Amino acid sequence: MDMRWSGTPRLRPSLTQRAASLLLRSVGWRSVLVTPPAPKGVIVVYPHTSNWDFIVAMLYKIGVGLPLRWMGKDSLFRWPLRRWLLQLGGIPINRREPSGFVDALLAEFARSDQMWLAVAPEGTRSRTDHWKSGFYRIAVAGGLPLGLGYIDYATRTVGIDTYLRLSGDPAQDFARIREFYAGKRGRRPENAGDIRLRS
């Protein structure tokens, strides 16, 4: 099943896609995907509490044919994994210099005919009391839809089935986001971060 935005025909899954989907199903996971409403947007992935999340997410991305970019700390993008991670859509981010990355990503959106950017808004697998604001600033400034992605170990379901248009009012928008994620459980539930921005 290829990910396409509304109105674009689906293509037959490749052998690689079918293999990734089969592997995910063989370990008990179910994939869910609702067609994105536009060629560009941001996807948050929550909760993120374990290294296993990356493996599940990559098998899902490959299996459903997600033309998806994702951000990771630049220390991950080293030999011998660098080329492979870049081919999987990775964008290295220098967390030591956070200023300017929102503008850089907005410029990347402007250059691209199609781009969906996945972000783990907790920014860590450890417990945190807030989400990082980058995804929100990018979506609001770019007028981009926000997809709500999840890796739910309670039901062993990974997917994206809800898209929001943000109002620009964090209190209103985060109330909707919290409502959606109520009941979604990470592999280590005690590490799931609070769904709110820093005060």
Q: What percent of the chain has pLDDT over 70?
A: 91
Q: Find, among 117, 129, 183, 151, the residue nearest to 45 by Cα.
A: 151
Cβ atoms 163, 37 nearer than 8 A: yes
Q: With residue 46 as reference, give the H or E element that holds it.
A: strand 40-46
pLDDT of residue 55 exceeding 80: yes
Q: Which residue has the higher pLDDT, 108 or 149?
A: 149
Radius of gyration for the alpha carbons in the chain, expressed in angstroms and rounded: 16
Which pLDDT value is given to residue 10?
59
Cβ atoms 3, 65 nearer than 8 A: yes
Residue with tokens 């739910």: 152
Domains, the chain, ordered by start? 23-190 (3.40.50)
Q: Which residue has the higher pLDDT, 42 or 13?
A: 42
User: What pLDDT digit, counting tens, does each position of 80-100 carry?
Assistant: 889 988 887 888 877 666 557
The pTM for the full model equals 0.85
User: What pLDDT digit, counting tens, does each position of 139-183 carry?
Assistant: 999 999 999 999 999 999 999 999 999 999 999 999 999 999 999
pLDDT of residue 9 exceeding 50: no
Q: Amino acid identity, residue 65?
A: G
Which pLDDT value is given to residue 7?
47
Residue with tokens 């309670």: 154
